[in-house]
Structures are given as structure tokens and as C-alpha cells.
């Protein structure tokens, strides 16, 4: 069971502000869904089964050729100081 | 202005008329915009209209005129065709919101590769369509811009998450549309709106510009009102995009051989676990059985197979999707773009948490769940296990597809639900994706074909084929379209 | 030191692959230094919605080369992972890096570096390398005024996405000087592979973990240059020893190196326990390196320092010590080999570079650093590395031709060493070639008798007392020689002067 406190911690890890009633509702729904996910436990999988992953030869990767992007990349930033983007202070 | 009945033209028919000079692109686009103006208040398919659409139409008309003297003619295969684009696919200079408050004023500085290629083939972006926020949903009810109504029954949902794109085609507010499909988001609304919805092989279409929900599962999908339109679209957008997407595949699809009216020599599989499932509504099962009979009449062979690991598909799918989503959506923090606050004097954790509380409820739920399944101590139990389950399911599907050309299932196990009917029970809502998630887990192409109506409500049938066998799916679509004739309507005027 | 309080030190080193022209996952120019804020950015490195990482193949090659140079096992499937945490300098709020908890995902693992015994020829120590991985650099945060007075942070994403190699060692170092040897050798490897210029500001950064056996481990972060690593560790060991000596337990904590005060200080905020939720980056397929690919990369690798030392000993008959000094700083070794093209006398060229040029550079560096901090006695020799910043000005002016000309002038007897050193001073400060300096200075050796007669006679006149002493004691001749050299500004041929002085003394002796 995922407790309300655990949901609060998850919400903090994900930086999503939630009120207490929201946390309670989510805890309830999340438990139901996680219980459903738990059916994966019954699936007997040997260590020989590789998790699904795509792979490619390294030669297919990008050449080291620099290209400057032409458009103004700051057009969507709202808090600026000169060409710096403003952010909250850390700490 | 063109007569309103002409708004139901298939794209390939429209292109012919434009090239022959009997329809001007400007007139056609103006009529489409007028129709949107008059009916989209009820349907709510569009979030944003492209205000340059008419200008672009005039340019197309000029190109047609200047090339008519040229013996080759104008080669663009989608010349002047009005295109609806799901609002999670980037369009340069046109707001792209993902139906989220978090991106309500975000304007991309670049076009998605697929958009660029369709524009290059002559298509005109009409606008950006409504969806479940960030693609998370099957009904287009989880949108910050309101629900999209099903044109066949406006009290019902259009399906999701590409509900706006499907509804725009079914109500003749566009001729072709782009959606995205992570677990069925193109095929579900296609089925509920009686149009075609193709989820291509993973990687066949570049994902550059598609705003990520679950990277390893999702594809840009194509939506149209005819098999030939779908083929034209596919032909315009395939081809390697390694310079923008390292998961993209370099392949072309041979669409020349799709126009056969027989399915002779084909072997189709139906899945016992789906046929026998009590999750399938009766009308849907009936339609499915009718479809089996139809393909058999077209000389295909249909046999039953078993996919024993299918019962783990949804758990595997949702675990992977939510894990990836929780990470993908971390970038929406209000600093570089999107919804924000003044950062002055705000503690950083509070800054993030306040801004990010503006995600909708379903998005928050999935981010929290995704955070949970990746968190310390749970990775092996959930994410890793889900990826292994995925490998097993994939193997089972591949095994079947070595003996059969395609697998037939209903696209959706239910008829389009009424608006509000399912939204309050997340888990129950997730379970209606059972037939569609398989293709995303396996990375194979799947096509929802509009097959029948039950009490005026559309029912779609899904065909899944092996990797890069899109041409086969188009051929099945063409043959069934020919065989079903006017029994299947694909838009409401 | 007592064996009982054995010190254990491990390093985590970040090296930017400064030789790359574009960033790790996007084609933005990688050269961010000295640019206006946020000009070196594109939708990918700004984390714009809908963008996908595009792995730089060359970055993989460089990381593989470094991993091979450090004797690592190369992953057969190189896989990237996402490390999820929120920070304003991180555009996506996750860092694309590598993670070995479930497999060897990182480019290299389980390698080692041998440290040469500074006194002898053997290997004194083996430092194990736990892993070597590729990852992206975050952006940079700056503050209006100071962090304490500012109400907000300012972000510059120019650096975001620049390719980093992270090297993590086992805690195998037992003393700060071992760390210095390791880092010097690593710098030389980076330079020889031509993948990272460690002299560039911020190109190499180092975190260290330090513990005294039986006590808690302390992480030191924020050490922004190689030269400070040894100092920070030396300080931290002294701090921990002083605590344990007083019976106070060392706290397991993160400390920062305060460059200005030259001490470690407790990190500003206690870092909360992070849960990074690593998972494989789905947008980058695992990269397969076939054994053929690996062979091709191996074959393309430049000569490594170790092999170069051996070659210098073998091919040029240098002593191993001289060869090591040359190779220890790649530009010296390069200068050496290039100078040989103009003058094929390896010992002479090596001597000029190792003794005179390097000696001058070391002194110049010391002088320019202002008041020298004498607190850490062990570090004075390690300064050769941080000099490289200062030296680039001088070295840019000195070509192989300079060195070769100087050596030829002396070896041919055209000038003597005293004059040669004066010429070198001038050559280093102006960049003029020695041949040109000689013409301008009129410093050709005075090697004709008639040019010197007058001066020798003058000295004999002025130094009567010494001349008388010299009759009975020949050693005094050197004093007289010195006087002649002084009057000729060192231009006189000392052999000739000595013979002239002898002649005159012999005459005096016989006339007595």
C-alpha cells in the first residue's frame, strides 16, 4: 500500500504541488492502479530475457559538425535579464 | 466558395480537381475555415487555427497556374489539401499546447519533420487539434481546452487522445489529419469517428517535433477518410530522418500495389483471448465476426491463435508509458517556456511545485505513478519487469506474424462512451486500450478501418501486420473499402 | 605518518571533450567560452518540447580512446540513462548520462592507471578506475551581485550539452602527492589523445572523497582546477586528523573547496537524499561497437605518453628522466620532436628544452602568481601544470626553429652559453629568432685576438694585485677571465681570453 505520506514524497520528487485532499484522492486511485501493475509479479521471467531495447551501430550516430541554430531561442522565455534567463534562486 | 458537399471529397480527388483547375485552393480552404467557424463551437476539434492558411492557399494557386504551362504539371501529391495537426506536433510559428495550461502560449521555433514533409507535398495546415493533455487519455476529455464531441453523436466522446484530429475529418473540417499514437491514440478516435487511423511501424515516421509522452512506444499517426489518402500521406512522410531522430528507420513503402480488390492468398489470425474476453461489447463482437466473414469472402483465410501473455500487456504498457512520461514532463518548469511565475524571491522548490501543479489531473496521476515505478527499490519490480514482459509479448506477436499476414481485432472493445461516463475511474478507462497497446509494445504497424455502424455509432476493426508491412495494411483497407462501398460512411455533413 | 591512520582518497573527474566541435547531443557549436549568454543554444540543448538527442559519434570515439588508454573494458552495448533531478541549469530536468547498476552501460569500466615511482624506474602504484562514462554538461548559474544578496538566479545555457567524460576511481590513493601524479599523467594522456585541453578554464573538474581509515567519508566538491585538488585534499586530511586527534568524530558530509580562502567548507545546504530514478534513455538506441569498430578506433589512436617516453629513450638515446619530463607536458615533447627537424642533435635540443626553457617557464610562472603560498610544501613541483595557462603566451611565440637555432649557435661555437641565455630571454619575451637577435644586439662572439688585446691589457692594468697572485696561483685566472667577460658583455670567447691571459702571466713569471 502506498500511503498518503509516500504520495507526498512522490509529489515532491516530481515537484508537483498538491493539497491534502488531492493527495488522499491520488493515494486511493494510485493504489488501485499499482495493484493492477502487480500482476507483473506473477510473470515468471528468467534472467535470460533481455528487457526490450533498441540498438544501433555506432557509425550511424551523428557526425561532429557544428551548426548554429538560426532562430531566436529565447522567444518563449518570459523572465529575462539581458540575454540571461531568470530562474528561482537555489538553496 | 465551393459547395459544402465537396468538403467531403477525398484528398486524392481534391488534388485532381485542384490540378485540373476546377477548384481553387483558396476557395476550398476558405470554405473549410467557414465550416470550422460555423460548427466547431459544437465539436471543439480545433484549439488554434492557422491564420496564414489562406495566404498559403493563394501561393498554391499561383504555383498551379505557373506550372500548368509546364508539361510535367505540378507534382505535389497533396496539393492544397487541408491538414489538421494534433496539438502535440510542433508547428513553427503556430502555438502548440498539448492541450495543457503548461504550454498554453508556447510557440515552437521549428516544424516537426512530418509536418515539414506534408507541407512540402502541398498540404496546408488548417489548425491544431484538441487532445487529451500530453496524449494521456482515450476520450479527449482530459484537455485544458474542453472536451471534443463526436460528430456522429455529439453527446459522446470522439475518442482519444487524437480526438480533435478524428473529429475534424469526420465533420469535414479537414481532409487529412495527423495524430499521435502511444497506446492507440490514433486508432481509438479513428474507430469512434469512422475514419482510418494508421499507427506506423515504430520509427518509420520521424518523431522529431512530436512532443514526448512515452518515447519508446509513441509514433506520429496518419488519419484519413480513404485508403488511398492514407497511402498518399504515408508516401509523403516516410524516409530516414537520422539527422533529427536516432530511432527513425530509413524505409520506403511501396504503395503502388495496394489497389487490389481481392485478399486472395492472405492469412489472418484472430486472437482467442480477445474474442472470448467479456470486456468486448456485443455490438463490437458482432461487427468483428462480420468483418471476419467479409475478408473470407475476399478469399482470405482466418484462423484462431493464442497470445497467452496478452493479459500482461496493459500493465506492461502503462508502467513503461508512465515511467517515461514522468521524466519527459519534468522539463515543464516555467523557466525557458510555458506557464510561469516571476522567480524573484521565490524558493526554488516552491517555484517548481507551484508551476507544475497546473498540469491536469490525469497528467499528475501518471507523473506520480511513473515516479513511483522508477523510484529507488522499485525499478526492478516494475520498469525492468515491464520491459521484459514487453519483450515476451513482442516475441509472441512476431511468432504469430511469421505464419499470418495480419492479426484482426476490434480497434476498441466498446462503442464511443458518453461524455463523462468513464472519466472518474482511471483504471477502467485504461482497460479499453487492450487491443491497441499490443502494436505499440511490439512496434508493429496497425490500422483501424471504419467497418460498420451500430445505432449510428461507428465501429472500427484493427489489422496489425509485421514491421514495415504498411503496404499490406493499406491493401486490406482498399479491398474492404471497395467491398463495403456505401455501407460505411466516413463523415457527417 | 603512523600507519594506523591510513588515508583513503578516491576521485571523480569530469573532463570536457574540448576537441569536439559540436555538443554531445546536438549540433550546437561546443565552444561556449567567452560567448554572450544563451547564444550557443538550439531546441535540443534547451530541452524544447519535441526534440530528441542526437549522439555525437566522435564523442563516443574519444571516450573509447580514453577508456582504452586507461585500460578499461569497453562496453559491447553503450547505453545512456536518464538521471532525473530538478535544477535550473538542467534544461530537461534530467541529465543524459550512463549508469552501471544493471549492466555495463558506460563506455569503459574496470580499468587502471599505473603511477611511476618518482624516484626510480618502476611502477609505484596502481590506481583502479571503476568506470568511465559519457554525459552532458549542465548550463551555468550566475547571480546579480552575490548569491546571498540576489533574489533570483540567472541561467546561461551555452555550456548545456557540452560533452563530458566522467572518470571514477576506486579509493586507492593514500596521499595527496599520488593524486597529483595521477592527475598530471591524466592531463598528459588527454593532451596526447588530443581530446581535451586541460588548461582551458573549467575543462577539467574534480571531486574527491577523503577518509581516514575507520572514520566517515567526506566528499569535496567544486574543485575547479587540477592544481587545487592536491591542496584541497591536503587541507581536508589535516582537518580530519585534527578532529580525530581531539577525539571528535568526522561527519559524513559534502564540503566545497573555497578557492579564495583555500580551505574546505561545509556545503551550503545539506543535500537532500536524492532518488535519481535512473532508466535507459529511450531516444538513444544502445550503441553497438563491433570488435572491428574497436580495432579501427584503436588504430586511429595517437601515441600515448608511456609509449612516447619509451620511444624517446630508444630512438634518441635520452635518459628516461629527461624523456619523462618532456612527455609530461605534451607541448615540450612536441617542441622537442619538431626542433629535431631543423637540428638533428637530440641531446642538445632536449637539454635546451628541459633545462633552460622549462626552467625559465617554471620561474616565470612562479613570479606571475604573485606571493607564493608556502603552506603546502609538497606542491611546488606540481605547478608546471597550472603554468600552462600563463605559458601559452610565451609558447605561442617559441617555434622549433627558435630552439634549433639557439642550439646550433652554441654547438657551432658561434656564441657561448652565457650569451645564449641572454638571447633566450630576449627570444622568449619578443619572439624574435636567435639569428635576428644576434644581428640586432651585436653579440657575435669576440673570437679574434686583436679584438680582445686592448681589453685584456686593461684588465691586467686595473687588477695588479690579482695579476700578481695569478703568477703563483693559476686559479686566479678565472677571476681575471670574469673581468674580461664583464667588459665584453659576455661576448668574448672564454677559451681565447684564457689563453691570452695565460700567455701574459707566463711572460710576467719569466720576466720576474
Q: Which residue has the cell 507544475?
A: B356
Distance of CA B49 to the CA centre of its chain: 19
Range of the structural domain that residue A23 is part of: 4-41
Reading the block at residue C173, the C-alpha cell is 590513493
Is A88 contained in some domain?
Answer: no
* Whether residue C472 is found in the same domain as residue C435: no
Q: How many CB pairs under 8 A join B and C?
A: 103
Q: Please name the residue of chain C whose CA is at the shortest distance from the CA of residue A69.
A: C42
Is C251 contained in some domain?
Answer: no
B244 contact residues in C (CB cutoff 8 A): 52, 54
* Whether residue C16 is found in the same domain as residue C113: yes
pLDDT of residue C386: 37
Are the beta carbons of A73 and C43 separated by less than 8 Å? Answer: yes
Q: Count each helix (H run) and each strand (E run) in chain A, helices first.
A: 2, 3
Using only C-alpha atoms, what is the Rg of chain B?
A: 22
Cβ contacts of C272 within 8 Å, gap of 6 or more: none
Q: Is B161 a catalytic residue?
A: yes
CATH of the domain at A26: 1.10.20
- Give the model's confidence band at C120: pLDDT under 50 very low, under 70 low, under 90 confident, else very high: low
Instruction: List the single range of B360-374, C69-83, C228-242, C475-489 with lowest mean pLDDT.
Output: C475-489
Is A11 contained in some domain?
Answer: yes
Q: Which of C27, C80, C159, C194 to mutate to test the interface with A (most CBs of A within 10 A)?
A: C27
3-class SS at C443? Answer: coil
pLDDT of residue C225: 78
Bridge partners, B407 (sequence order): B269, B464
User: Is the separation of the CB atoms in B178 and B159 below 8 Å?
Assistant: no
Q: What whole-number distance in Å separates Cα of residue B328 and Cα of residue B212?
A: 6
Are the beta carbons of C54 and A61 separated by less than 8 Å? Answer: yes
Low-confidence residues of chain A: pLDDT under 50:
none
Kindly report the nearest CA distance between residue C191 and chain A, in angstroms: 19
Domain count, chain C: 3
Is C232 contained in some domain?
Answer: no
Query: Which listed residue (B143, B180, B185, B194) is catalytic?
Result: B185
Taking all residues of chain C, what is their mean pLDDT, rounded to a whole number? Answer: 87
Q: What whole-number distance in Å separates Cα of residue B115 and Cα of residue B124?
A: 10
Q: What whole-number distance in Å separates Cα of residue C203 and Cα of residue C295?
A: 28
Is A22 contained in some domain?
Answer: yes
Q: Is B185 a catalytic residue?
A: yes
Domain endpoint, select from C385, C410, C441: C441
The 3-class secondary structure across C224-264, one letter per residue, is CCHHHHHHHHHHHHHHHHHHHHCCCCCCCEEEEEECCCCEE
pLDDT of residue B257: 85
**Higher pLDDT among residues C507 and B262, named by residue:** B262
Using a CB–CB cutoff of 8 Å, tell me whether B215 touches chain C: yes
Q: Is the peptide bond before B161 cis (omega within 30 degrees of 0)?
A: yes
Are the beta carbons of B427 and A32 separated by less than 8 Å? Answer: yes
Range of the structural domain that residue C388 is part of: 303-441
User: b/e per residue, A38-76, with b = 16+ CB within 10 A?
Assistant: eebeebeeeeebebbebebebeebbebeeeebeeebbeb
- The CB density around residue C271, as the number of other CB atoms within 10 Å, is 11
Q: Which of A3, A13, A21, A37 to mutate to test the interface with B (most CBs of B within 10 A)?
A: A37
Subunits with 3+ Cβ pairs within 8 Å of A are B, C
> Cα-Cα-Cα-Cα dihedral of C267, C270, C273, C276, to 10°?
-40
H or E stretch covering C379: none
CATH of the domain at C503: 1.10.10
Q: What whole-number distance in Å separates Cα of residue B448 and Cα of residue B411?
A: 6
Are the beta carbons of B330 and C84 separated by less than 8 Å? Answer: yes
pLDDT of residue B68: 61
Whether C57 shows a pLDDT value over 90: the answer reads: yes
Predicted confidence pLDDT, tens digits, chain B (493 residues)? 788 899 999 999 999 999 999 999 999 999 999 999 999 999 999 999 999 999 999 999 998 888 765 544 456 899 999 999 999 999 999 999 999 999 999 999 999 999 999 999 999 999 999 999 999 999 999 999 999 999 999 999 999 999 999 999 999 999 999 999 999 999 999 999 999 999 999 999 999 999 999 999 999 999 999 999 999 999 999 998 999 999 999 998 888 889 899 999 999 999 999 999 999 999 999 999 999 999 999 999 999 999 999 999 999 999 999 999 999 999 999 999 999 888 999 998 999 999 999 999 999 999 999 999 999 889 989 999 999 999 999 999 999 999 999 999 999 999 999 999 988 888 888 999 999 999 999 999 999 999 999 999 999 999 999 999 999 999 999 999 999 998 899 999 8
User: Is the separation of the CB atoms in B464 and B429 below 8 Å?
Assistant: no
Domain count, chain A: 1
Is C243 contained in some domain?
Answer: no
* Whether residue C279 is found in the same domain as residue C310: no
* Whether residue C20 is found in the same domain as residue C156: yes
Q: What whole-number distance in Å separates Cα of residue C110 and Cα of residue C67?
A: 10
Whether C422 shows a pLDDT value over 60: the answer reads: yes
Whether C269 shows a pLDDT value over 70: the answer reads: no
H or E stretch covering B242: none
C92 contact residues in B (CB cutoff 8 A): 330-331
Whether C374 shows a pLDDT value over 60: the answer reads: no
Subunits with 3+ Cβ pairs within 8 Å of B are A, C
Query: Exposed, middle or buried: residue B94 (CB in 10 Å: 0-12, 13-18, 19+)?
Result: buried
Kindly report the nearest CA distance between residue C284 and chain A, in angstroms: 8
Cβ contacts of C368 within 8 Å, gap of 6 or more: C390
Q: Is B86 a catalytic residue?
A: yes
* Whether residue C282 is found in the same domain as residue C408: no
* Whether residue C292 is found in the same domain as residue C197: yes
B4-265+409-423+444-487 under CATH 3.90.1300.10, yes or no: yes
Q: What whole-number distance in Å separates Cα of residue B140 and Cα of residue B232?
A: 27
A17 contact residues in C (CB cutoff 8 A): none
* Whether residue C22 is found in the same domain as residue C58: yes
Is C242 contained in some domain?
Answer: no
Subunits with 3+ Cβ pairs within 8 Å of C are A, B
Amino acid at each position: 500500500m502506498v500511503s498518503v505520506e509516500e504520495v507526498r514524497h512522490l509529489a515532491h520528487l516530481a515537484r508537483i504541488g498538491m493539497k491534502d485532499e488531492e493527495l488522499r484522492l491520488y493515494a486511493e486511485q494510485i493504489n488501485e492502479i499499482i495493484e493492477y501493475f502487480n500482476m507483473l509479479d506473477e510473470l515468471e521471467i528468467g534472467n535470460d530475457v533481455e528487457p526490450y531495447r533498441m540498438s544501433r551501430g555506432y557509425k550511424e550516430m551523428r557526425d561532429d559538425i557544428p551548426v548554429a541554430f538560426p532562430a531566436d531561442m529565447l522567444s518563449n522565455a518570459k523572465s529575462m535579464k539581458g540575454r540571461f534567463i531568470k530562474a528561482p534562486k537555489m538553496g | 466558395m465551393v459547395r459544402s458537399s465537396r468538403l467531403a471529397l477525398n484528398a486524392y480527388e481534391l488534388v485532381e480537381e485542384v490540378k485540373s483547375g476546377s477548384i481553387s485552393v483558396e476557395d476550398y480552404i476558405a470554405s473549410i475555415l467557414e465550416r470550422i467557424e460555423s460548427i466547431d463551437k459544437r465539436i471543439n476539434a480545433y484549439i488554434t487555427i492557422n491564420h496564414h492558411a489562406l495566404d498559403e492557399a493563394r501561393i498554391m494557386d499561383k504555383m498551379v497556374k505557373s506550372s500548368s504551362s509546364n508539361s510535367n504539371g505540378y507534382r505535389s501529391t497533396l496539393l492544397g489539401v487541408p491538414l489538421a495537426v494534433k496539438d502535440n506536433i510542433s508547428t513553427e510559428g503556430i502555438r502548440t499546447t498539448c492541450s495543457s495550461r503548461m504550454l498554453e502560449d508556447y510557440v515552437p521555433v521549428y516544424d516537426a519533420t512530418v509536418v515539414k514533409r506534408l507541407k512540402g507535398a502541398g498540404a496546408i495546415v488548417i489548425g491544431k487539434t484538441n487532445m487529451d493533455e500530453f496524449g494521456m487519455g482515450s476520450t479527449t476529455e482530459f484537455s485544458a481546452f474542453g472536451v471534443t464531441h463526436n460528430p456522429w453523436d455529439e453527446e459522446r466522446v470522439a475518442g482519444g487522445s487524437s480526438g480533435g484530429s478524428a473529429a475534424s475529418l469526420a465533420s469535414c473540417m479537414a481532409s487529412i489529419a495527423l495524430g499521435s499514437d502511444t497506446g492507440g491514440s490514433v486508432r481509438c478516435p479513428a474507430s469512434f469517428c469512422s475514419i482510418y487511423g494508421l499507427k506506423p511501424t515504430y520509427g518509420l515516421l520521424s518523431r522529431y517535433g512530436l512532443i514526448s509522452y512515452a518515447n519508446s512506444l509513441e509514433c506520429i499517426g496518419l488519419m484519413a477518410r480513404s485508403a488511398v489518402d492514407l497511402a498518399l500521406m504515408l508516401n509523403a512522410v516516410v524516409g530516414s530522418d537520422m539527422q533529427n531522430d536516432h530511432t527513425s528507420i530509413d524505409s520506403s513503402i511501396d504503395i503502388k500495389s495496394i489497389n487490389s480488390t481481392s485478399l486472395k492468398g492472405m492469412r489472418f489470425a484472430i486472437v482467442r483471448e480477445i474474442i472470448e474476453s467479456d470486456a468486448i461489447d456485443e455490438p463490437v463482437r458482432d461487427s468483428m465476426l462480420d468483418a471476419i466473414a467479409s475478408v473470407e469472402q475476399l478469399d482470405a483465410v482466418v484462423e484462431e491463435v493464442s497470445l497467452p501473455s496478452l493479459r500482461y500487456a496493459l500493465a506492461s504498457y502503462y508502467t513503461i508509458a508512465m515511467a517515461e512520461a514522468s521524466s519527459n514532463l519534468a522539463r515543464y518548469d516555467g523557466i525557458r517556456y510555458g506557464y510561469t511565475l516571476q522567480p524573484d524571491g521565490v524558493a526554488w522548490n516552491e517555484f517548481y511545485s507551484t508551476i507544475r501543479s497546473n498540469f491536469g489531473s490525469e497528467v499528475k496521476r501518471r507523473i506520480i505513478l511513473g515516479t513511483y515505478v522508477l523510484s529507488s527499490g522499485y525499478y526492478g519490480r516494475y520498469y525492468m519487469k515491464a520491459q521484459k514482459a514487453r519483450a515476451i509479448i513482442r516475441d509472441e506477436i512476431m511468432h504469430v506474424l511469421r505464419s499470418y499476414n495480419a492479426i484482426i481485432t476490434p480497434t476498441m472493445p466498446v462503442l464511443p462512451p458518453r461524455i463523462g461516463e468513464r472519466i472518474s475511474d482511471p483504471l477502467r478507462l485504461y482497460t479499453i486500450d487492450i487491443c491497441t497497446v499490443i502494436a505499440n509494445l511490439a512496434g508493429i504497424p496497425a490500422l483501424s478501418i471504419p467497418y460498420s455502424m451500430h445505432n449510428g455509432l461507428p465501429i472500427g476493426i484493427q489489422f496489425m501486420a509485421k514491421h514495415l508491412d504498411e503496404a499490406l495494411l493499406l491493401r486490406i483497407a482498399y479491398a474492404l473499402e471497395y467491398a463495403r462501398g456505401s455501407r460505411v460512411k466516413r463523415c457527417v455533413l | 605518518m603512523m600507519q594506523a591512520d591510513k588515508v583513503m582518497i578516491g576521485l571523480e573527474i569530469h573532463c570536457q571533450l574540448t576537441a569536439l566541435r559540436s555538443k554531445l547531443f546536438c549540433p550546437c557549436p561546443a565552444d561556449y567560452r567567452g560567448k554572450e549568454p544563451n547564444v550557443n543554444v538550439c531546441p535540443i540543448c534547451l530541452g524544447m518540447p519535441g526534440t530528441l538527442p542526437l549522439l555525437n559519434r566522435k564523442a563516443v570515439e574519444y571516450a573509447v580512446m580514453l577508456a582504452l588508454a586507461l585500460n578499461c573494458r569497453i562496453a559491447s552495448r553503450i547505453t545512456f540513462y536518464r538521471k532525473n533531478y530538478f535544477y535550473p541549469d538542467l534544461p530537461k530536468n534530467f541529465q543524459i548520462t550512463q549508469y552501471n547498476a544493471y549492466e555495463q552501460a558506460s563506455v569503459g569500466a574496470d580499468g587502471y592507471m599505473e603511477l611511476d615511482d618518482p624516484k626510480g624506474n618502476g611502477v609505484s602504484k596502481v590506481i583502479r578506475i571503476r568506470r568511465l562514462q559519457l554525459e552532458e554538461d549542465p548550463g551555468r548559474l550566475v547571480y546579480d551581485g552575490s548569491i546571498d544578496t540576489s533574489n533570483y538566479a540567472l541561467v546561461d545555457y551555452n555550456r548545456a550539452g557540452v560533452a563530458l567524460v566522467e572518470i571514477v576511481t576506486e579509493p586507492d590513493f593514500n596521499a595527496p602527492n599520488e593524486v597529483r601524479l595521477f592527475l598530471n599523467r591524466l592531463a598528459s594522456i588527454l593532451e596526447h589523445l588530443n581530446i581535451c585541453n586541460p588548461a582551458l578554464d573549467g575543462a577539467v573538474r574534480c571531486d574527491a572523497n577523503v577518509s581516514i581509515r575507520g572514520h566517515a567519508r567526506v566528499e569535496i566538491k567544486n574543485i575547479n582546477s587540477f592544481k587545487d585538488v592536491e591542496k584541497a585534499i591536503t587541507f581536508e586530511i589535516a582537518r580530519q586528523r585534527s578532529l580525530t586527534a581531539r577525539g571528535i568524530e568526522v561527519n559524513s558530509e559534502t564540503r566545497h573547496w573555497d578557492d579564495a580562502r583555500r580551505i574546505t567548507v561545509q556545503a551550503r545546504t545539506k543535500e537532500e537524499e536524492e532518488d535519481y530514478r535512473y532508466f535507459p534513455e529511450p531516444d538513444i538506441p544502445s550503441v553497438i561497437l563491433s570488435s572491428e569498430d574497436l580495432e579501427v578506433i584503436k588504430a586511429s589512436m595517437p601515441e600515448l605518453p608511456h609509449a612516447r617516453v619509451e620511444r624517446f629513450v630508444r630512438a634518441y638515446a635520452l635518459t628516461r628522466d629527461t624523456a619523462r619530463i618532456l612527455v609530461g607536458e605534451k607541448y615540450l615533447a612536441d617542441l622537442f620532436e619538431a626542433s629535431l627537424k631543423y637540428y638533428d642533435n637530440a641531446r642538445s635540443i632536449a637539454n635546451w628544452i628541459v633545462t633552460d626553457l622549462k626552467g625559465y617557464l617554471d620561474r616565470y610562472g612562479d613570479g606571475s602568481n604573485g606571493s607564493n603560498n608556502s603552506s603546502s610544501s609538497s606542491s611546488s613541483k606540481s605547478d608546471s601544470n597550472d603554468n600552462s595557462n600563463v605559458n601559452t603566451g610565451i609558447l605561442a611565440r617559441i617555434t622549433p626553429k627558435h630552439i634549433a637555432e639557439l642550439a646550433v649557435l652554441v654547438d657551432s661555437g658561434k656564441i657561448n652559453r652565457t650569451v645564449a641565455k641572454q638571447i633566450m630571454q630576449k627570444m622568449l619575451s619578443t619572439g624574435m629568432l636567435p639569428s635576428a637577435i644576434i644581428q640586432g644586439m651585436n653579440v657575435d662572439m669576440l673570437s679574434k685576438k686583436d679584438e680582445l688585446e686592448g681589453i685584456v691589457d686593461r684588465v691586467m692594468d686595473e687588477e695588479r694585485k690579482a695579476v700578481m697572485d695569478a703568477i703563483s696561483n693559476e686559479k686566479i685566472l678565472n677571476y681575471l677571465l670574469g673581468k674580461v667577460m664583464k667588459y665584453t658583455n659576455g661576448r668574448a670567447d672564454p677559451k681565447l681570453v684564457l689563453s691570452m691571459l695565460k700567455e701574459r702571466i707566463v711572460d710576467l713569471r719569466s720576466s720576474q
